[in-house]
Amino acid sequence: MDISLDIKKRKRKKISIFKIKRDTLVPYLFIMPWILGFFFFTLGPLLFSLVISFFDWPIIGNPTFIGLANYKEMFFEDPQFWKSLGITAKFAGIFVPLNISVALILALLLNNNVKGSGIFKTLFYMPSVISGVALAMIWGWVYSDEYGILNYFLSTIGIQGPNWLGDPNWATFAMVFASVWGQGTMMLIFLAGLKNIPKELYEAADIDGANVVSKFMYITLPMLSPTILFNVITSIIGAFQQLSLALLLTGGGPVGSTYFYAMYVYDNAFKYFKMGYSAANAWFMFLIILSLTLLVFKSSSMWVFYESEATIKKKKG
């Protein structure tokens, strides 16, 4: 009798252990396609690119290990490396603050629950879902010095518009304006952040007699600072990876004024077939973006406000 009970307990224990293992395994089976895709199409190529950056790796021919020669050539022997890096830094210096400002202004306008705000949200967001090729074609028509709509509107108010894509002094600014056009996703992120700001703060400010500027400076910006941090980082990454618009609109011209670093990497890989050298270029871009991201995170303690931290400090006090 005791033996049969012991056998039944062991069977139940085995069944329970099997059930626990099955319940633990099933979620991983559902995310397995993503895990496999990450390892084979993201992490694998990433590590492989690091390996080939130490090789002379032509598309046709045998690879040859050359150590740090690609990095030496990049830093000390290739003047185009520094030129493209400077052009990209200039573009990022204009694009990042302008992109953040435009997205925030649009979010502030849409945050007011006025009639028809849903239509404007859709209109402002639509450019961000347009493909890069279509966006480049649209801006090519807008910027054309012969039949462009932008110069036409300027001529109606007596202004002679420049050759936006053919003048080195204006080409970078033209690229910035075209890039800012697709800030719909960032606008929605700002809008979500604005919706999460407690209304009680504004009501208290109204009772104290605060004006619009004071409420924006002392309530909206501090409460929105974590969202600003996220958008600044994504804007920096997007600025250094800008390729499609420059490739399709100007091809890096005129006179190399829009020859961004991403195009420099692209040309080394697919135009000059220097895959190892291009991989070294790409890894240096990664280090630049990583350094800037860490710098922004490091400085965030001085300007980013977290409501949870304030609550904890208040309780301790």
pTM of the model: 0.84
Boundaries of every domain in the chain: 2-52, 78-316
> Phi/psi at 7 (nearest 5 deg)?
-65, -40
- Banded pLDDT at 5 (limits 50, 70, 90): very low
Q: How many beta carbons lie within 10 A of that of residue 143, not counting itself? A: 25
- pLDDT tens for each residue of 48-96: 999 999 999 888 888 899 999 999 999 999 999 999 999 999 999 999 9
Share of the chain above pLDDT 90, in %: 37
As assigned by CATH, the class of the 78-316 domain is: mainly alpha
**Residues 174/164, Cβ–Cβ less than 8 Å:** yes
Q: What would the DSSP string read from start to end of 207-273? A: HTT--HHHHIIIIIHHHHHHHHHHHHHHHHHHHHT--HHHHHHTTT-STTTT--HHHHHHHHHHTS-
Q: What is the pLDDT of residue 311?
A: 46
Q: What is the pLDDT of residue 184?
A: 84
9 vs 109, residue with greater confidence: 109
- Banded pLDDT at 181 (limits 50, 70, 90): confident
Burial class (CB in 10 A: 0-12, 13-18, 19+), 154: middle
Q: How far is CA 35 from CA 29, 71, 86, 112, 189, in A?
A: 10, 32, 37, 42, 27
12 vs 279, residue with greater confidence: 279
CA 94, CA 158: separation in Å to the nearest integer? 27
**Residue 13 scores a pLDDT above 70:** no
274 vs 1, residue with greater confidence: 274
Q: What is the mean pLDDT of the chain?
A: 85
**Residue 200 scores a pLDDT above 60:** yes
CA atoms within 13 A of residue 113's CA, in its CB half-sphere: 2
Q: What is the pLDDT of residue 24?
A: 72
